[in-house]
Amino acid sequence: MGKQLTGAILAMGSPQTKPDIRYRVGFSVPDPVVYVQQASKKYLVVSLLDRELARRVAPDIQVYSPDALRIPRALRGALSGWIVGLLRELGIRTVTVAADFPVRAADQLRRAGLRLFVADGPLVPERAIKTRAEVGRITACQRAAVQAMRAAIRLIARARVDKKNRLRVRGRLLTSERVRRAIYRVLVDHNCTGEGTIVACDGQAATPHGIGHGPLRAHQSIVIDIFPRHLEHGYWGDLTRTVVKGTPSPALKKMYAAVKAAQAAALAKIRAGVSGRRVHLAAVAALARHGFKTGLLEGKAQGFIHSTGHGIGLEVHEAPSLSLRPGRLRAGHVVTVEPGLYYFQHGGVRIEDTVLVTRGGYRKLASCADIFQV
């Protein structure tokens, strides 16, 4: 029963931080809410403070505030009290929750005699298949990322190289922070925030999640990874390019060519029905054909050390996965395709685009030039 999500589903938390709730409820408030769905009927408990707002923006949902529920004395003031009150009102005794449902509330609900199943996969699996409107929202973020990428690359291209091989624009050192700021400015004009944007040079670029700090250098790879989130609707985009100001080493050039070939190989496999594993292995094979190894080198993970891609929507990482994990692509999935190579001796290279999976293949959500030397 837990696996099939029959019976009622239950979620609690702030719509701002719980995509399942935001997806179902269609609005975002900071305070936590309780959401229950049984077949096609949806129920919400919100504080009195948010009740009128919820009723206005979510007319298809039956909205309660806690004062309308019979809440056990021991659970007054707790969200689990709202849940028990609502489920008694609805005559529901068994619910399915997501893996990240809070343990304290789960313990309280079980003590109150409710049966709790924990879903193996996503609580709202239909979120992975995007509607036309959702594809439009992700595309808007992706276009914002393209504009911001152009601004960042222009700034790096404009830089002069000083005697210590550091980049300077208008005399001032060009740092990761300064490029990031330029990116943020473009994104905000598109109503997006760019928190976590990576602008990482040389050794820093060899750790895929380091966001990068300090002066940028000539002749080294600079990985720029922009994943904007829209400030109103909350959807994400994701785009990465790698550039070198000046002359890349032969090793870097080879890495770039290999990553580009790996992205092309992965993209060539993408269509509805194909397994994520097959797409990932196409990228792995292309990198191997170019002579690049993955594994522990000098005790550190180096090479192609992450998956080829991930779904994207109301979360920046969501189902499906382009990796060794099981699962097939379906039309309407939106995924990133982002092979990379990371060696502490040479730096990092990653190229990433975001595509819509279609029956016959894929469609890039936004087009961004692929420039290596600037």
* Among positions 58, 62, 72, 106, the unique one binding its own copies when judged by CB under 8 A: 106
- Determine the length of the chain: 374
Q: How far is the CB of 49 from its own copies (least distance, A)?
A: 5
Q: Please tell me the count of residues contacting its own copies according to CB under 8 A.
A: 52
Q: Under the criterion CB under 8 A, does residue 193 sit at the interface with its own copies?
A: yes
In the chain, what is the straight-line distance between the N-terminal and C-terminal CA atoms, in Å? Answer: 56
Q: Under the criterion CB under 8 A, does residue 363 sit at the interface with its own copies?
A: no
Residue 367 CA to residue 155 CA, distance in Å, equals 20
Measured CA to CA in angstroms, residue 310 lies from 98, 215, 282, 307 at distances of 20, 31, 15, 8
Q: Under the criterion CB under 8 A, does residue 49 sit at the interface with its own copies?
A: yes
* Among positions 9, 29, 83, 365, the unique one binding its own copies when judged by CB under 8 A: 29
Token pair recorded at residue 372: 């290596």
Q: Binding to its own copies (CB under 8 A): which residues in 261-280?
A: none
Token pair recorded at residue 32: 């936590």
Residue 146 CA to residue 156 CA, distance in Å, equals 15
Q: Under the criterion CB under 8 A, does residue 208 sit at the interface with its own copies?
A: yes
Residue 256 CA to residue 281 CA, distance in Å, equals 18
Residues 130, 131, 136, CA angle at the centre, nearest 5°?
90
Among 35-43, 130-138, 164-172, 185-193, the segment contacting its own copies (CB under 8 A):
185-193
Q: Which is nearer to its own copies, 4 or 17 (CB)?
A: 17
CB distance 97 to 87 below 8 Å: no
Q: Under the criterion CB under 8 A, does residue 358 sit at the interface with its own copies?
A: no
Q: Which is nearer to its own copies, 16 or 62 (CB)?
A: 16
Q: How far is the CB of 303 from its own copies (least distance, A)?
A: 11
Residue 185 CA to residue 79 CA, distance in Å, equals 39
Q: Which is nearer to its own copies, 136 or 273 (CB)?
A: 136
Among 125-133, 191-199, 215-223, 247-255, the segment contacting its own copies (CB under 8 A):
191-199
Q: Under the criterion CB under 8 A, does residue 74 sit at the interface with its own copies?
A: no
Among 162-170, 188-196, 346-354, 361-369, the segment contacting its own copies (CB under 8 A):
188-196
Q: Which is nearer to its own copies, 264 or 316 (CB)?
A: 316
Q: Binding to its own copies (CB under 8 A): which residues in 318-357?
A: 344
CA dihedral 61→64→69→72, nearest 10 degrees, is 90
* Among positions 3, 4, 53, 93, the unique one binding its own copies when judged by CB under 8 A: 53
Measured CA to CA in angstroms, residue 165 lies from 137, 181, 213, 218 at distances of 41, 22, 16, 5
Among 29-37, 133-141, 247-255, 347-355, the segment contacting its own copies (CB under 8 A):
29-37
Helices 250-269 and 276-289, interaxial angle, to 10°?
150
* Among positions 181, 219, 290, 364, the unique one binding its own copies when judged by CB under 8 A: 181
Among 93-101, 275-283, 327-335, 352-360, the segment contacting its own copies (CB under 8 A):
93-101
Q: What is the DSSP string of 196-242?
A: T-EEEEHHHHTSTT----SB-BTTSEEEEEE--EETTT--B--EEEE
Alpha-carbon radius of gyration of the chain: 24
Q: Which is nearer to its own copies, 6 or 17 (CB)?
A: 17
Q: Under the criterion CB under 8 A, does residue 195 sit at the interface with its own copies?
A: yes
Q: Under the criterion CB under 8 A, does residue 102 sit at the interface with its own copies?
A: yes
Residue 327 CA to residue 357 CA, distance in Å, equals 14
Residue 322 CA to residue 264 CA, distance in Å, equals 14
By CB under 8 A, name the binding residues for its own copies.
16-17, 28-31, 48-53, 56, 65, 97, 99-107, 116, 118, 177, 181, 184-185, 187-189, 191, 193-196, 206-210, 231-232, 300-301, 305-306, 316-317, 344
